[in-house]
Amino acid sequence: MRLTHIHATNFLGIRSADVELRTPVALFCGPNGAGKSSVQDAVRLALAGESVRVALKKEYGRLMHNGAESGSIVVVTDGGRANNVALPGGKINQTIPADPRTPYVLDAQRFASLDLKARRSFLFDLMGVTVGTDDVRKRLAARGITGDKVDAVLPLVRAGFDAAASEAQTKATAAKGAWRGVTGETYGSVKANGWRAAAPEGTESPDELAASLADGNELIESLSREAADLQQQLGSIDTAEHQRRQRDARATQLREAADKLPRAEESLEHVRGELAEFLPKVIALRAAAGGKVEGMPCTCPECGALLRYLAGKLVADAPVERDDDAAASLPEYEKSLTVLENSVKSREAEFDRARDAAAQLDLLAKDAATDAADDSASRKDVEAALAEVQDKTTQARKIIAGIEASQRAAAEADDKTKRAAQHHADVAGWEALAAALGPDGIPADLLSEALGPINSRVAAQSDAAGWSAVAIGADMSITAGGRDYALLSESEKWRTDALIAEAIANLSGVRVLMLDRADVLVGAERDNLLYWLDDLAHAGDIDTALVFMSMKAAPGAMPESITTFWIADHCVGGSKAAA
């Protein structure tokens, strides 16, 4: 940005200024109080919108020269763009593009006046070094660091790299504790790399354990089938024994009934005899009582005589007369006959039961004869065989339990190894992230990107001007000749500020430099300043440099790139170009 004209009326110590800038360097000089600083303040107000001497726009009336009612400031650049300031209202009509770096080239001491954090932020902005979360994510990805861990700490970058790095280191410490919790050992990066949990001593390989387990399960299945067969045999023996007991009990019952058979037979014959003897009497009484002949009529096969068959006997068929005594006795005889008939039926039933019992007992005896074997010996053999099978099964189950325990132990060891490896990976990941976010990581890269160009520029220009080498440290400290800025003399600070401001003007592309109070330099150092500015102009490194210096009289000859403007009686407008 090349300035071509500066106009100012009734502003502070300047009643009138009409300056045409024909050379890259303009030297404004004059006695104290002539208005040099007023010209500088006018340029700052027009280009940067900064009022140096009053804070509020409502106080702009105090900026008027000797109580004037109105004033103005106009700064024009090549291409005809201009910024106009109307006073005392302070309204700025701006057509020159604003640049946030402009105040730093119009006020050379501004950068040094910033605190360390502000210096860093300014340099990052100056060099286009961005520190947003997206930029940091890209820088981490370039280092091979991605994933959930980045997402977890990246928001903390807004609070500063230190906060994000501290959080990552805290996570790494927690991961070390988790590794120690799994392994029971103190964490060490070398130890943790490749650490494996020890399986129980003597544990076979997973394939061998699986094969042994399969064999054991097959054996148990075989033993289970054998045990089931033996249990079935015991069941059959128990069933046979139960049936024998039932048969014996039934035989006892039948024997009691069969033992009554002789007496039942005898009793039956006896009552049958009584009935046979009594029945004819009843029949005869019936006949006598009713005048009827009882019995079935028939004829004798030999003589043909009429007979009657009654109670198993043949009697002559002869008419019977009614007998009243017989009729009177008949009911009692009928009752006795019924008793005898019922007695015969009862004895017949007893006889039938005894006879049936004897027949069943005979069948049971025959069945017992065919099942006379004693199963007690067989049962003992089966029980012994079953006990042996069950013992083998128990032993096999113990072996399988041992195999399964070994498998679990191996699985637990493998799981512990995997968890330990994951925690170790977490430690490595968090520590890598902490290192990347730490002072020697991305912040160092950012500082290098920000400091490299400006330090290179100020170093080169320090040498070109013949002044002590100026540098900005990683901690944002400023040094000249290796000495801290705070320890420098006034003139050393001025030269340091001038070099930094020139570097900012060059790197930002503003290419304007304004240096007030250059009269702090005397003798050879003043000459060095002017020759340095002349070199910058000839090299095309500066578009406009405005230098303000108190002098008792106008200076003599100047390099052709420098135009001298003498301020007298609060006015400046004539020019004196030095060859």
Strand-pair category, 91-94 with 82-87: antiparallel
* 187-202 tens-digit pLDDT: 998 988 989 888 766 5
In the predicted model, is pLDDT for residue 373 greater than 80?
Answer: no
In the predicted model, is pLDDT for residue 515 greater than 50?
Answer: yes
DSSP 52: S
- The pLDDT confidence band at residue 41, using thresholds 50, 70 and 90, is very high
Distance between CA 33 and CA 86 in Å, rounded? 24
Distance between CA 213 and CA 403 in Å, rounded? 6
Residue 317, pLDDT score: 64
Distance between CA 46 and CA 106 in Å, rounded? 11
Asked if the peptide bond before residue 88 counts as cis, ω within 30 degrees of 0, the response is yes
Residue 540, pLDDT score: 95
In the predicted model, is pLDDT for residue 575 greater than 60?
Answer: no
Q: Could you tell me the maximum CA-CA distance found in the chain, to the nearest angstrom?
A: 210
Count of Cβ atoms closer than 10 Å to residue 447 Cβ: 20
Distance between CA 28 and CA 10 in Å, rounded? 18
- Percentage of residues in the chain having pLDDT higher than 90: 44
- The pLDDT confidence band at residue 264, using thresholds 50, 70 and 90, is confident
Q: Which domains does the chain have, with CATH numbers?
A: 3-126+446-573 (3.40.50.300), 130-159 (no CATH)
* 206-240 tens-digit pLDDT: 777 788 878 888 888 888 888 898 888 888 887 87
Residue 294, pLDDT score: 60
* 310-337 tens-digit pLDDT: 666 676 666 556 678 778 888 998 898 8
In the predicted model, is pLDDT for residue 578 greater than 80?
Answer: no
Distance between CA 280 and CA 540 in Å, rounded? 176
Higher-pLDDT residue of 410, 100: 100
- The pLDDT confidence band at residue 303, using thresholds 50, 70 and 90, is confident
- Looking up tokens 């990552």, which residue turns up? 168
Distance between CA 116 and CA 103 in Å, rounded? 18
Residue 576, pLDDT score: 43
- Which helix (H) or strand (E) segment holds residue 547: the answer is strand 544-550
* 524-545 tens-digit pLDDT: 999 999 999 999 999 999 999 9
Taking residues 441-469, what's their average pLDDT?
A: 92
Residue 549, pLDDT score: 94
* 132-152 tens-digit pLDDT: 888 899 999 999 999 999 999
Lowest average pLDDT, out of 27-36, 409-418, 513-522, goes to 409-418
- Cα distances from 77 to residues 108, 535, 574, in angstroms, run 21, 22, 19
- Cα distances from 297 to residues 53, 141, 277, 308, 447, in angstroms, run 176, 140, 21, 4, 156
State residue 17 phi and psi, 5-degree precision. -140, 125
| Segments of 311-388 assigned E as strands | 313-316
State residue 71 phi and psi, 5-degree precision. -165, 180
Distance between CA 449 and CA 463 in Å, rounded? 22
